[in-house]
Structure 1
Amino acid sequence: FQIGWTGDNGDPDNFFATLFACSAIGVSNYSSWCDKDFEDLIQKAKKTSDQGERTKLYEQAQEIFAKQAPAFLLAHSQVYAVVRNNVSGFKMDPLGIHRFDGVDKAE
């Protein structure tokens, strides 16, 4: 089983292929689940740059995943940052990386 996962690049492939691809069994697919239809969909989605097509393919893959439930997803990770009123220019990064370029502090 797996306690947690946070995707590090924001792409759906980082979750689908990394955690549930047939080729990831024994590596990072701890459920050892392998479904040919799911696999075909995520491989097609990985190869197209058309965002609309990718979305459709990943939605279909999610339907298969939801029906078969090879894993029970309990929660998602939270990202926090502490800021003050005299700090400007800080932007939250969706991947939880603290970037300080462009940040200013008023006296």
Structure 2
Amino acid sequence: METFDPTEHIRGLHELVAGSADIKAILDGLTRFASTAISQASGAHIDCAVTLRRRKRTATVAGSSEKAVHLDHIEQTLKEGPCLDALDKGPPGVAGRRRN
């Protein structure tokens, strides 16, 4: 079993932020980073996306994969789902989707 080294994760995040030209690049990198870290920790593939709400409108602003972005778009079209529930219920949280 692989051991968790927080130092490597911190270095990776630092390089991501320091080496990115704009916020979109940072958020795209952050979702890929989160997807990889959570997938390694859980032993299952996890896709990640960032949904932003401004003035009661939501938008997917980044994703670790096209699938993650597509699923978020479906959720926004339906106006229901785990990401929107997390936004409605208060502080940021993790919204899970089971992979088939």
Give the TM-score normalised by the residue count of structure 1.
Answer: 0.28
> Which has more radius of gyration?
1
Higher strand share: 2
Higher helix share: 2
